[in-house]
Structure 1
Amino acid sequence: MSQLRLYNTNGGVTEVMPRLAEAEADVQRLVEANMEALLGVRFLASEYSTGPVHAGRIDSLGIDANGAPVVVEYKRGTDPGVINQGLFYLSWLVDHRGEFEHLVRDRLGATAAAQVLWSGPRLICVAGGYTRYDLHAVREHRRSIDLVRYRYFGTDLIGLETLATATGRPAPGRGEQRTAQAVRGARERIAELAAVADEVLLGLGDGITKVQRKKYCAYQRLRNFASICPPQRTKVHVYLSLDPTEVDLVPDFTRNVTGLGHHGTGDLEVRLRTEKDLERAQDLFRASYAAA
């Protein structure tokens, strides 16, 4: 939105001017009602009380596709305290894991509560603007933070722009270390192929966060755009967040897995067996990244 200009072409060309919300609560209500579509996060609670000691209220609580807890804070305009306020609540959340897991169990069930990813809690700030100090500070922080700027256009359009992202990457787990060792030793061709696919996905653009789960590794901007499962003996499975019905499926290369059980997130399965497969998959990788 810093460069994008929006025009109405009905009966000529008229610029649709961006504007801020009338009140912070308007942005919060809209995002909470459409959180999964807008942020890739399942909504759990609004104005969540942190109790009498902390005496605060978390604007929104959610959980992302990888099971990471998410705190969402809103500001109508530019507020230099939004990051510190959000981090305060994020620290409270990490110290009250049982309470959050109980909330997840009530809203989403026992399976979701058992899979909460405490190694990667996230803060998403949605505001009308940020200072240059905010943009610098977020990149220096060890927590996973996204600064998202909003603008309303006309009466029924809203735009979201991710201005800065801190990945807050945790130390690699045991499974990730084993894979790295296999790649370094060049012992497994498929492990090397998975490592190259990992590099390609991370190199698609700025603001990509890599999240290691037990049975897959996810790649996200605000939401997941790809995930890689541990290499099998002859192939690597990559799942993309694209609509398979809009892709020309190729037998034994791409597959529609909508409704089928699989590890990772995304409905388009891509099978990689060779470097040539990886090369022809890159247009799909870019399309999924652009849509996230």
Structure 2
Amino acid sequence: MSEKTSHRPEPIIPPKAAPLRTLVMAMAVMCYLAVLAAGGLVLINRSVEAWTGDLAREITVQVREVAGRNMEEDLAKAAAILKATPGILKVTVLDEKAAIELLEPWIGGIDGLEDLPVPRLIAVEIDPDHPLDFAALDTQLRNEVPGVSLDTHKRWQAELTRMARVLTTLAYAILVLIGICAVAIVIFATRAALEANREVVEVLHLVGARDSFIARQVWGRFLKTGLTAGIIGLILGILTFFLAAGAAPESFSAISREFLSLASAKLVQNYLVLLAVPLVATLICLITSRVTLMRILKSLR
């Protein structure tokens, strides 16, 4: 009684080939860095958007002490002008203690600071849907209350926007560099894998195998390698963001938690940005290995 045994042909490049293992580790690191860069880009833009939005909804009126005038009366007059202005939702006069507390982070705790003529502040919440004529309001306040000044926070908004543009450009540059490095790594790994199995490829050529056939046999290995490395990098990147959300400053941490929270309305958009990393990594492995394989196989004829 004869017993039939089926023998499955061995792949051209073994799954545990050293070049493929090295490629997985290197690409996983590249994907991890790409996830950090992409996620950081989203967080930075979201943070700047939130901060500039807060600044756009508030203005500050500063009342300096003027000789011969009563500070409390000047504050009351300025507050009355602000409350009578259309488009202003809320006017809050900060007491002297609050004004001193705002100065302490800049000048430290100095004894006797309460004896100095510290300017008093009025926090004003405005309606973004009904923009104010800040120039007219500033003129009216200066005419009615000597020593008053209006701060619209436009300078801070411009600085934050400029910082966001610089960081965004830097993040895109990092992603481009990561992509270039990934392409170089795949080319090196492809050459190393084929060189290690050169004899097998030459035998296939001798029996009439076409380059496209050999490339298809090798192509699948790089598909799995790119996808595996991308998933590893994605998981490590998301874990890093979860850890950073608890260690970041309060304002940035809240945005980080929103970025990762299942309750976030923009959850799909946030995670699509991160999910793009393993997809791009897979495409880089596929396209780069395909082009490299065809060129090398032509040179081996």
User: TM-score with structure 1 length normalisation?
Assistant: 0.17
| Larger relative strand fraction | 1
Which structure features the higher share of helix residues? Answer: 2
The structure with the largest alpha-carbon Rg is 2
- More contact order relative to length (CA 8 Å, sep ≥ 6): 2
